[in-house]
Amino acid sequence: MFNWLQNLANPTRFMALSGVLLPIFGAPTIGLLAIGLYMSFFVAPADYQQGETVRIMFIHVPAAWIAMFCYALMTLSAIGTLVWRHPLADVSARAAAPIGAVFTALALVTGSLWGKPMWGTWWVWDARLTSVLVLLIIYLGLMALWRAFDDPARAARPAAIVILVGSINLPIIKFSVDWWNTLHQPASVFRVDGPTIHPDLLWPLLIMALATSFLFLTLHLLAMRNEVLARRIRRLEQSAAMGNPARKTVSSEVGATA
């Protein structure tokens, strides 16, 4: 496994593999989204308390799960950057940040659109909502940090440290509804005693969650390819500006942190 990851340090090898993987992730994304949408509107019944508004759950919950999964992936990438100095780890973290920010913003906005008819308010400063807002601020802060450095390789270590510090927010988000008295409902799917949602509502939710997961993988792979290309372009532009022809492709061009 580790050797396989080491082989991916070669950007040419990574670009070849990701080119093969993109349609493999992309095709199920479209199919699962279509099935999930159909189930969300035509198979799932209205909730006995929330009525039709429960349909917002089928996009709100997957968006929130992906927002957290994305940060967990960035945390693993940060470990990869700091411990193994894997060139692709920083590429992975940097590519994931804007995608994570979009999913976090979507979780907040769709949650707000769900909260207004159900709670009677767009926003409350309860622990769950506030900790997810903090996650969005961390994503935006990291994106600003990466942009503040001219050389992406120099930004890798400080960004990895900030990611690791920010990862303390993940258990806070997950357990906020248990640790504090919140307006947000407690967990109803990932529970020790099993899901408390009726299967008629659970299945569309799981299909949409799977679709969103494939969507995230597709977008992340695409963003990683863009980041590798951007670093190659930067290197060639620097070489052209200095009047030196660039050396052949080496792994350091994707951002070695050494």
Partner 1 sequence: MLGEFGSFIIWSYALFFGAIGALGIWLIARNRWATKRLHQLQQHDDRSKN
**Helices (H), ranges, the chain:** 2-7, 11-38, 57-79, 87-119, 127-148, 152-166, 169-179, 199-242
Binding test (CB under 8 A) with partner 1, winner from 116, 147, 191, 198: 116
Nearest to 97 by CA among 162, 3, 188: 162
Dig out the tokens for 175 from the structure: 């357990």
Residues 1-40 as x/- pattern, contact with partner 1 by CB under 8 A = ----------------------------------------
Our CB check for partner 1 shows the closer of 52 and 178 to be 52
**Of 9, 64, 88, 99, which lies in the binding site for partner 1, with binding defined by CB under 8 A?**
99
* 234-239, Cβ contacts within 8 angstroms, sequence gap of 24 or more: 234/152
Under the criterion CB under 8 A, does residue 237 sit at the interface with partner 1? Answer: yes
- Residue 233 in the binding site for partner 1 (CB under 8 A): yes
Q: Does 129 bind partner 1 (CB under 8 A)?
A: no
CA distance linking residue 172 with residue 71, whole number of Å? 13
Only one of the segments 73-81, 133-141, 154-162, 236-244 lies at the binding site for partner 1 (rule: CB under 8 A); that segment is 236-244
CA–CA separation, 224 vs 71, rounded Å? 15
Interaction residues for partner 1, span 163-192 (CB under 8 A) = none
CA-based nearest residue to 26, from 161, 187, 217, 210: 217
- 56 forms part of the interface with partner 1 (CB under 8 A): yes
Q: Which of 117, 154, 165, 178 binds partner 1 (CB under 8 A)?
A: 117
Q: 100 with 67: CB under 8 angstroms?
A: yes
The site for partner 1 (CB under 8 A) is made up of 46, 51-53, 55-56, 59-60, 63, 98-99, 102, 105-106, 109-110, 113-114, 116-117, 215, 218-219, 222-223, 225-226, 229-230, 232-233, 236-237, 239-240, 243, 245-246
